[in-house]
Amino acid sequence: MAYKSDGSADLQGFFADLVRCETRLYNALNDRLRERHGIVTSQFEFLRFLREHPGSRVADVAAEFAIGAGATSKSADRLEKQGWIVRQTNPADRRSSLLALTDDGAQLLDAAETTFAAGLSELVEGALDRSTTAAAAQALRRLRSALERDQVGTPTG
């Protein structure tokens, strides 16, 4: 962490670095996924979430990614139109649907995951050694946990 001349943490610099790193990593992985698999990073993450959490509702996906339910529903519509997910009736609540990967979606995800993992490894490990990566991962996990626990940045709509 960088510090200002008065000894306080440079939180604005930390924020700028965090956001710019996320944006650049996201964009670079987005380009690779689009070029090799015809999907973008947000679609990859959506499909991966469904594989790890079968039977999720749109609201569950929205909560995980801290985005609005309307945007999440539109994303689900696009994935469904491509044949990568299906909506199934929720037996516990007929007003909502459960989302599931199709076989085509699972195959796409498997192939894209190889591209994603290799790209992420190249980008991160090319810049940081293992101990720095581990320390950064631990710090971000703690920050994320605190933000989620306190429901900071949760969309209202």
Whole-angstrom Cα distance, residue 106 to residue 109?
5
Handedness of CA 28, 34, 36, 42 (dihedral sign): positive
> What pLDDT is recorded for position 1?
59
Whether residue 75 contacts residue 85, with contact meaning beta carbons closer than 8 Å, is answered with no
- What contacts 41, CB < 8 A, 6 or more positions away? 26, 29, 30, 33
Local structure of residue 56 (DSSP, 8 states) = B
> What pLDDT is recorded for position 96?
84
Q: How confident is the prediction along the chain (157 residues), in pLDDT tens digits per residue?
A: 566 777 678 889 999 999 999 999 999 999 999 999 999 999 999 999 999 998 999 999 999 999 999 999 999 999 999 999 999 998 888 888 999 999 999 999 999 999 999 999 999 999 999 999 999 999 999 999 999 889 888 876 5
> What pLDDT is recorded for position 147?
92
